[in-house]
Chain A
Amino acid sequence: MSLRSEKPSVTDNPVKVVRSFPRFTLAQRWEHGILILSIMALFFTGIPQKYQNTSWSQFIISSPERLELLQQIHHLFALLLIAEAVYHVGRGLYLLVRRRLPGDIFPIPQDFKDAWQMVKYLFFITRQPPKFGKYSFEQKITYWFLFLWIGILIVSGIILWYPIQITKLLPGGVIPAAYLAHSNEAIVMAIFVVIWHFFHVHVQRLNLSIFTGSMSEEEMRQYHSLEYERLTSAETEDAAESGGSA
């Protein structure tokens, strides 16, 4: 889809060199891949258990053995997701301690202003959509909602996994509460990923930077103009400095 807007420029300048900016590290891209794998597996093994009164679910869960298998697969991928979450948070904390944690993903007051401007733009109150830095407020919403919900799913999932050990510490009521939270949260997350995340990265435009690890100059300029400006101005400063010294 982005190709369409590039088309004229390509014809104008057939030997144009497309610059790309690094956006995600290899580790981050792997993390995203693990997330996709584990969340999809968890979703598809969890959803028949939730909607067990439906015929399609009963087609899958036709015997106690099948149910057990489904639960074992669910537990296996839960371990993968937990490992990923521990790595992600652990690495974040490590970088924080070393004061090397990039702050781009953290919400700042500007995000609320951006969101408000986006609402105004969508209601034709302003003509200009907001300009974004490395991550737009929409992307931050995606990250933090998933962060929070995976947290809730992991915690409630562990409670459901080890009810006997949990009730040694907590009142019994947390078990049915966790059951409800886990089951509802999974649906919330599934709907969110489909209507919000898929819309923004597939429908609105095909944004594959989490897989390729980089973003073209064109896209950077269009969707992350502030970040683009910051990077390019830093470059020009560097160039100016090196030019001055030379």
Chain B
Amino acid sequence: MPIRRVTLYILSGAVLLLFSLSMFFVTVASADHTKQGQPTATPQPGGATTQTAPSAKTSDPNLSIANEVCLGCHGVPGETITLPSGETWDLYVTPEMYQDSVHGQMGYACVQCHTDVGEYPHPPFQAKDLRDVTLKMREVCARCHTRESELELDSVHAAARAEGVREAAVCSDCHTAHEVRRLTDPNTHKMLPDVRQWIPERCGLCHSQIYQEYAASVHGSALSEGNPDVPTCIDCHGVHNIEDPRTAYFRLRSPYICAKCHTDSTLMSKYGLTTDVLNTYVDDFHGTTAVLFEKLSPDAQVNTPVCYDCHGVHDISSTNDPATGLKIKANLLARCQACHPDATTNFPTAWMSHYVPSPQVYPLVYYVNLFYKFFIPFTLGGMALLVVLDVSRGLINRRGKRPTQMTEEPDETGQAMAETDASSAADAAGERSDRDEDQDAKTASDEVEEKNG
């Protein structure tokens, strides 16, 4: 307690000093002061002076301790702790590395993260091994980066950790602990250009096999050549709330991930690629089923392929690639045979390969479709017309005969007249009976003729 009281006195003195100084240089120095003061405070603008005063809670940073104080010990190699697991925990922090990090550049103090080590000797740190240290330090990042932390808690990594997979990534596994890199432009919030190439390398630290596949793929190889258009890991998998890609739901939804770029006409025109890939996929039998169940029962195991079942997951190759490209017949057949083992040479063309049928490609399909486009309206329309004419002729016949019918069948005609909106059924029936009467007359006359003959 006495030590704490002393620090309290010192700090209040410092606050008073700062306050008086700021009042003194109120006109010129105020702008400069807040600029410098902000990084030392918790990042809340305007409240710099009040927040420098530490409270009694240990979680708040003890800002009286300059980085130089920490680096006095930790800036010299050789500072280590042996953990209960027997592993050696190196406590050395390269001062230059920290200075170059985004936190170092913005002037954050060591104690803003390491809030509980403000005293010397440091309070004991409970960790059984190195991984335990890393996992525990996640909370440090979460203190400021709340949003990212919460997103990460929804991720496949967090789920794996909850199941006891300690290797699953936390913040510092990707971002590092002390060399945290600036990733986005502070003004535009857009990703900095050289970051894109860095991302797969970070994921590749754990997912090394996938990284190798990706690096050799059409996307990965273009990325290494500096192409800014190709997707990196996060463009498909997301950033902090990385979803489990092994679920049925992810699989069924995946065509839309590919479609994000592959239906973008400005992007695709740069590479001479068609943007019809999604709609042709959805129109054809595979996509029809996949898209249907993506909507209806997203957790269902559906056996029709999605984009990556044919084009590859991370090892996506150009369709012109001689070894794996799907424009080469043998490669496509091999892909088909993965699900249709008995497929033979002609089978792959049963799938229209994202083509829209035209007189040049898939003429048979094109002409069958064209045929029905004309056949349906003309034939059935013609038949419907005949039926309508049949009904109307009957209607007109009956109107013409109404006076005579009135005398013959007063009940029926009265009924028919009462039904002002007589259904076509009644009309047709009436019409037929008229036609029948005509025929009756005819047959009667025929009979007469026959008798005469």
Chain B binds chain A: yes
Tell me whether A184 is interfacial, beta carbon within 8 Å.
Answer: yes
Instruction: Say whether A179 contacts B342, CB under 8 Å.
Output: no
Selecting from B129-137, B139-147, B422-430, the interface stretch reads B422-430
- Given the interface pairs A188-B376, A203-B428, the reply to whether A174 lies near B340 with Cβ below 8 Å is no
Q: How far is the CA of A119 from the CA of B363 in the complex (A)?
A: 37
Q: How far is the CA of A163 from the CA of B409 in the complex (A)?
A: 63
Given the interface pairs A172-B347, A173-B362, A196-B387, the reply to whether A184 lies near B297 with Cβ below 8 Å is no
Provide the residues of chain B in CB contact with A13, threshold 8 Å. none
B432 contacts A by Cβ under 8 Å: yes
A199 within 8 A of B: yes
Interface string of B393-415 (1 = CB under 8 A from A): 10010000000000011001000
Measured CB to CB, the closest approach of chain B to A26, in angstroms, equals: 28
Cβ of B369: which chain A residues have Cβ within 8 Å of it? Answer: 180, 184
Please tell me which one of the listed residues B372, B384, B438 contacts residue A188 in the complex, with CB atoms under 8 A apart. Answer: B372
Distance in angstroms between the alpha carbons of A121 and B447 in the assembled complex: 23
User: If the complex has contacts A5-B433, A180-B365, are A62 and B296 also in contact, measured as CB distance less than 8 A?
Assistant: yes
Complex contact A204–B389 (CB within 8 A): no
CB-defined interface of A71-112 with B at 8 Å, one 1/0 digit per residue? Answer: 000000000000000000000000000000000000000000
A128 at interface, CB cutoff 8 A = yes
* Nearest opposing residue in chain A for B408, CB measure: A8
Interface residues in A1-53 by Cβ distance below 8 A to B read: 1, 4-5, 8, 52-53
- Asked if A177 contacts B365 (CB within 8 A), the reply is yes
Is there contact, CB below 8 Å, between A124 and B393?
yes
> Does A56 interact with chain B (Cβ within 8 Å)?
no
On chain A, the residues within 8 Å of B439 by CB distance are 129, 131, 221-222, 225
Which residue of chain A has the shortest Cβ distance to B442 in the bound complex? A128
Contacts A61-B292, A128-B438; A176 near B428 (Cβ below 8 A): no
Query: Would you call A230 an interface residue if the criterion is a C-beta within 8 Å of the partner chain's C-beta atoms?
Result: no
Residue from the list B342, B357, B379, B425 in contact with A203, Cβ < 8 A: B425
Which of A63, A163, A181 is B350 in contact with, Cβ under 8 Å? A163
Interface residues of B in 343-391 (CB under 8 A from A): 343-344, 346-352, 357, 362-365, 368-369, 372, 375-376, 379-380, 383-384, 386-387, 389-390
| Contact status B390-A172, CB under 8 Å | no
Chain A at the B interface: SS class: helix
Given the contacts A123-B389, A164-B342, A195 and B384 also touching, CB distance less than 8 Å: yes
B350 neighbours in A (Cβ, 8 Å): 163, 167, 172-176
Residues of A within 8 A of B347 (CB): 163-164, 167, 172
**Which A187-238 residues sit within 8 Å CB-CB of chain B?**
187-188, 191-192, 195-196, 199, 202-205, 221-223, 225, 229
Known: A122-B389, A122-B393, A172-B347. A204 touches B409 (CB 8 A): no
B18, chain A: closest CB distance, angstroms: 67
Residues A192 and B383 in contact in the complex (CB < 8 Å), given A1-B429, A58-B292: yes
> Which residues of the partner chain A approach B297 to less than 8 Å between Cβ atoms?
62-64
A170 within 8 A of B: yes
| B433 lies within 8 A of A173 (CB) | no
- Determine whether A171 belongs to the interface, using a CB cutoff of 8 Å to chain B: yes
**Closest A-chain residue to B373, C-beta based?**
A184
Q: Is B435 an interface residue (CB 8 A)?
A: yes
CB of B309 within 8 Å of the partner chain: no
Q: Shortest Cβ distance from A101 into chain B, in angstroms? A: 28
**CB proximity of A176 to chain B, nearest CB, Å:** 5
- B235 on the interface (CB 8 Å rule)? no
Contact of A174 with B292 in the complex, beta carbons under 8 Å: no
User: Which residues on the A side are within 8 Å of B208 (C-beta)?
Assistant: none
Q: A171–B387 contact, CB under 8 A? A: no
Task: Give bound CA distance, A58 to B426, whole Å.
Answer: 38
The reply to whether A167 and B343 contact each other, CB–CB distance below 8 Å, is yes
| Residue B35, interface by CB 8 Å | no
Contact check: which of B300, B383, B396 meets A196 at CB < 8 Å?
A: B383
Q: Which of B292, B346, B376, B429 contacts A52 (CB 8 A)?
A: B292
Question: Which of B344, B368, B424 interacts with A168 by CB under 8 Å?
Answer: B344
Shortest A53–chain B CB gap in Å is: 8
Please tell me which one of the listed residues A168, A188, A195, A199 contacts residue B375 in the complex, with CB atoms under 8 A apart.
A188
Q: Which residues of B contact A118 (CB under 8 A)?
A: 386
Residue among A175, A223, A225 with max Cβ neighbours from chain B (10 Å): A175
Given A4-B412, A179-B285, A127 and B438 contact (CB-CB distance below 8 Å): yes
Least CB distance, A224 to chain B, in whole angstroms: 10
Q: B412 — which chain A residues lie within 8 A by C-beta?
A: 4
B362 and A176 within 8 A (CB) = yes
Residues of A contacting B284 with CB < 8 Å? 176
A215 to chain B minimum Cβ distance, whole angstroms, is 14
Question: Bound complex: CA of A1 vs CA of B424, how far in Å?
Answer: 13
Residue-wise, chain B 79-114 has the 8 Å CB interface mask toward A (1 for contact) of 000000000000000000000000000000000000
* Contact of B302 with A by CB under 8 A: yes
B303 contacts across to A, CB distance below 8 A = 64
Q: How far is the CB of B261 from chain A (nearest CB, A)?
A: 25
Out of A52, A62, A184, name the residue touching B372 (CB < 8 Å): A184
Q: Is B36 an interface residue (CB 8 A)?
A: no
Tell which of B300, B362, B365, B379 touches A63, judged by Cβ atoms closer than 8 Å: B300
A172 contact from B351, B393, B425, B443, Cβ within 8 A? B351
B452 vs chain A, min Cβ distance (A):
16
Task: Report yes or no: A1 in contact with B432, Cβ–Cβ below 8 A.
Answer: yes
User: Which residue of chain A lies nearest to B437 when distances are taken between CB atoms in the complex?
Assistant: A5
Most chain B Cβ neighbours within 10 Å, of A177, A179, A181: A177
Contact status of A184 and B364, CB under 8 A, knowing A176-B284, A176-B350: no
Contact A58 B296 (CB under 8 A): yes
If A61-B296, A163-B347 are given as contacts, then 20 extra A-B residue pairs at C-beta distance below 8 Å, sorted by A number, are A1-B432, A5-B436, A53-B292, A58-B295, A63-B296, A63-B297, A63-B300, A64-B293, A167-B346, A171-B346, A171-B349, A176-B284, A177-B368, A181-B372, A184-B376, A192-B380, A199-B428, A203-B424, A205-B428, A225-B439
Interface CB pairs A-B, < 8 A, 22: A5-B433, A52-B292, A118-B386, A129-B435, A129-B439, A131-B442, A163-B350, A164-B344, A171-B346, A171-B349, A176-B350, A176-B352, A177-B368, A180-B365, A184-B372, A187-B376, A188-B379, A195-B380, A203-B428, A204-B431, A221-B439, A225-B443
Closest 8 CB pairs of A and B: A172-B349, A175-B350, A172-B350, A184-B372, A122-B389, A167-B346, A1-B429, A167-B347
